[in-house]
Structure 1
Amino acid sequence: MRLGEKPGTVVGLAAAALLFVGGSVPGSVSGSSTGTRTVPPPTAAPTPTPTPSAPPLKDFQRPVTDCAKHKCVALTFDDGPGDHTARLLDMLAAADAKVTFFVVGEQAVHYPDLILREVEEGHEVGNHTWHHTQLDRSSIARIHKEIDGTSKAIERILGFKPTLMRPPYGATDARVAKIAKSRGLAEIIWSVDTDDWRDRNSSIVARRAIRGLRPGAIILLHDIHPTTVDAVPAILKAAKKRGLTLATVTDLLGGNPKPGKKYMGE
């Protein structure tokens, strides 16, 4: 997602204020792989936190795909959850495909049931910062808040913290890597960018993703765009035809991505 493409969500929830350490932060940066925009700090009084309908999944054991035996590809979906995530999950369930969702903290507190469903259905949830902030242009304090707030939000919903983090825009530096390592988070970039934020055409998005389908690939998509979700059936069909297995990033990387290390995919 790029400049101006992220739907406006305002952190007005008590969870947002409490989990985002230090309270609200002025002038957040939002968007996706390139470009920035300034968002004013929230002014509305906090409202009660929505609670998930199911208990946390602290002891949940996600099914594992052995990518040493299968030709695995990782589809990754950023910036959600959103209004189109449930429909995407239906498609993935029908195809028995597993993916990784890199969620934005301010979205996660609005859609806790979708976060739960993602994990219950065998998918993986990673940290994509609170406001989709470009971390390599941020202060140390801001980096801490963006990462920690989202990890705490995920832990509050699921009962455990994420182990993966995708820096917005893929923008990272030594400071971000050090903080990610201290938080037990591997940095996940991508090897295939579908540019689905720019071209809201499902055929174009599907074609770009299918062209990048190869063992070891990490493909960037966004579940906040309906056109991207519309492209998924064609991607799933092509992967199956090529004998590829759609797996989570952690499984693609052999089950043990190292905190602080940056992974690009093949």
Structure 2
Amino acid sequence: MRVWALPLALLALAVCVTHAVPRRQHQHMKVTPIKPATIDPVTFAKRLVSMQAGWPRSRNFDCSKLKCVALTFDDGPGEHTWRLLDLLRSRDVRATFFVIGQMVAADKGGHTVRRIVDDGHEIGNHSWSHPPLAELPPHRVKQELRHTEHIVRQLTGVRMRVMRPPYGSTDEQVAAETRREGLAQILWNLDTLDWRDRVTETVAKRASHAKPGSIVLLHDIHRTTVDAMPKVLDTLARRGFTFVTVSELYGRTPSPGKMYTER
């Protein structure tokens, strides 16, 4: 098949095929079927071309020499995510968003998740319903990851390469499944505890303790976290930090199945 014909073929396939909240309690939720998402066929074709060209497009930062920090946001997209994206765009800052499949499905039209991709941020898999993966049988772990992969790829045309296990719950079984799914496990070395202490000043102070190579854990579903971000960005910028995505932090796409906490 000619290279130029591949996006059109994939587009035709996407049109013809009928496609079959975050919480802090360790409770199991029933995985609900994915409903077909509404997306303009021309837009989807362009995204397929972009995907073939390579995504995400990494900027050239040498984090072995620069003071790099990766800001990561979990559990969205939510009602405050768009405001956060506006702020990051205005500061020319890139981050990594670990999205929950059910939250993506609840964002009608997928406008937020598509903007995350369009603005150059990295997007990662945070499961479908936010269960502790290490407590699930293998087939459920696969289901949690594949449901979210399916809807994100359907809406954006990109293939996620990183994931974050909810609650940091992982083991050898989870590692094996993420390796099969082509996903690196991204944890963190700085937890702002913004989900527990929803105080803007407290979140900003904790995030400012980042060190070169840190992966900072935040949640874009909380208003107080988004409110804290201007101060976080100002403080870390004054300290000479460069804001990068997780893949940019390592200078490459992290290895599937492997666990990362910092550079």
Task: Name the TM-score class by shorter chain.
Answer: 0.7 to 0.9
Q: Which deviations, in whole Å up to 9, do the C-alpha atoms of 1:24-79 show, x marking residues without a partner? A: xxxxx9524xx41344676xx98764447982323335242413453210000000
Q: Where do 5+ consecutive residues of structure 2 fail to align?
A: 1-17
* Structure-to-structure mapping, 1:15-94, within 5 angstroms: 18=19, 31-32=23-24, 35-39=25-29, 49-51=37-39, 55-56=43-44, 57-60=47-50, 61=55, 62-66=57-61, 67-94=63-90
Q: Distance in 2 between matches of 1:65 and 1:170?
A: 29
The residue aligned with 1:167 is: 165
Question: Matched residues, percent identical?
Answer: 42
Q: Which deviations, in whole Å up to 9, do the C-alpha atoms of 1:5-30 show, x marking residues without a partner? A: xxxxxxxxxxxx956xxxxxxxxx95
Are the aligned partners of 1:76 and 1:101 in contact in 2 as well (CA < 8 Å)?
Answer: yes
For residues 53 and 218 of structure 1, do their structure 2 counterparts lie closer, same or farther at Cα, with a shift above 3 Å needed? farther
TM-score, normalisation: structure 2: 0.83
For residues 38 and 258 of structure 1, do their structure 2 counterparts lie closer, same or farther at Cα, with a shift above 3 Å needed? closer
The residue aligned with 1:182 is: 180
User: Would you say 1:237 and 2:234 are equivalent positions?
Assistant: yes
Within the candidate set 122, 125, 137, 2:123 is matched to: 125
Are the aligned partners of 1:30 and 1:38 in contact in 2 as well (CA < 8 Å)?
Answer: no
Give the letter for the 2:141 counterpart: I
The residue aligned with 1:253 is: 250
Are the aligned partners of 1:30 and 1:37 in contact in 2 as well (CA < 8 Å)?
Answer: no
Q: Where do 5+ consecutive residues of structure 1 fail to align?
A: 1-16, 20-28
* Secondary structure of 2:226 counterpart: helix
C-alpha deviation, 1:251, in angstroms: 0.5
For residues 115 and 41 of structure 1, do their structure 2 counterparts lie closer, same or farther at Cα, with a shift above 3 Å needed? closer
- Give the number of the structure whose alpha-carbon radius of gyration is greater: 2
Q: Distance in 2 between matches of 1:47 and 1:123?
A: 25
Q: Which deviations, in whole Å up to 9, do the C-alpha atoms of 1:133-178 show, x marking residues without a partner? A: 1100001110010001111111111112100010000110111111
Q: Distance in 2 between matches of 1:39 and 1:73?
A: 34
